[in-house]
Amino acid sequence: NFLFMSNEQKQANELMEENVLLMEEHPHMIELKPATYLGMLRNKAVNELSLMRYKPLFDTIKKMDAFVLKYGQVNRSFEIMAENLKLFVFIPAGQFKEALEAAERLDIVYKQLPPTKAMKKEKQLQHYAFAYIYIGLGDYKQANNHINELLNNNDFDIRSDLYCFSHILSLISHFELGNTELLEYRARTTNKLLQKRKQLHKFESQIILFLRQTKNMTRKSPEIINAFIELKESIEKLTAESSLERNALSLFDLISWLESKIEKKSFMEIKQKKFNLIMTSEASN
């Protein structure tokens, strides 16, 4: 934990591998402490994700799947931990079909558990994950349904970062659906809401303004393509200069979405292309 928190992930990974191996060499300890073993696998997977070591990461996920198959009925939180991890892996990789399967399995588990405070928090993340996934799959109507479920739920205070980016995803969905009049209204209200909460990032102001200005432009015209390029360059400059803006964008890969518009390709295609480059680089190293 110390090595991981001090950004010494490579050294941390060596210790995590030793820990997992030690448990696997003594399987009776896994029987005695299944949660400890799964926690080790999860920590190892998170570390491998931060190091972008995808081959061992996918091997770790297979081990987690085998564990859940054996012990999942003992404690449903085991399955939740494993499937949640997959969302953190599959969504950034652009593997949205696999991510949807994981999200749907999670949804089944959540419906079988009592609606505790912790569960309501989990459901917020779940709706956001579904919205992200459906944008990746090009199903903007379903994406917007989940965003509305998230924003219209008054039972629990929504996390501020999720609240802000859910509004941005809503705008993107309406833009993709060609809902011109609704987009204009939502852009205005979103701007007011975020300003009122004093949580309006510069990139959010820029994309709201962009969507309002380009709402009537032809989707593949040179005019709108140039506007997308200018917005992408502006946001890249913002994230290079400010860690606050950069961290805020971790909830959604806005740059890849802009690139998909510029290159006239799907968002999923752009995400997978970047992931394949990482995998190729990993293999060559």
Helices (H), 26-159: 27-32, 34-51, 54-71, 76-90, 96-111, 117-137, 140-151
What average pLDDT does this structure show over 42-66?
91
Q: Confidence class of residue 131 from pLDDT cuts 50, 70 and 90?
A: very high
Backbone angles phi, psi at 266, to 5 degrees: -75, 155
What average pLDDT does this structure show over 138-154?
89
DSSP 107: H
What CA–CA distance (Å, rounded) separates 125 from 134? 14
Give residue-wise pLDDT tens across range 208-247. 888 888 877 777 788 899 999 999 999 999 888 888 778 8
If we measure between CA atoms, which residue out of 282, 260, 258 comes closest to residue 272? 260
Say what the pTM is.
0.87
Q: Confidence class of residue 141 from pLDDT cuts 50, 70 and 90?
A: very high
* pLDDT at residue number 266: 95
Q: Confidence class of residue 256 from pLDDT cuts 50, 70 and 90?
A: very high
Q: Confidence class of residue 19 from pLDDT cuts 50, 70 and 90?
A: very high
Q: Is the pLDDT of residue 56 over 60?
A: yes
What average pLDDT does this structure show over 40-65?
92
Of 52-66, 82-96, 178-192, 262-276, the range with the lowest mean pLDDT is: 178-192
Q: Confidence class of residue 200 from pLDDT cuts 50, 70 and 90?
A: low
CB proximity list for 50: less than 8 A, separation 6 or greater:
9
* pLDDT at residue number 235: 92
* pLDDT at residue number 196: 75
CB 245, CB 201: distance < 8 Å: yes
Q: Higher confidence at residue 113 or residue 130?
A: 130
Of 158-167, 172-181, 261-270, the range with the lowest mean pLDDT is: 158-167
Q: Confidence class of residue 198 from pLDDT cuts 50, 70 and 90?
A: low
* pLDDT at residue number 104: 95
What average pLDDT does this structure show over 127-144?
95
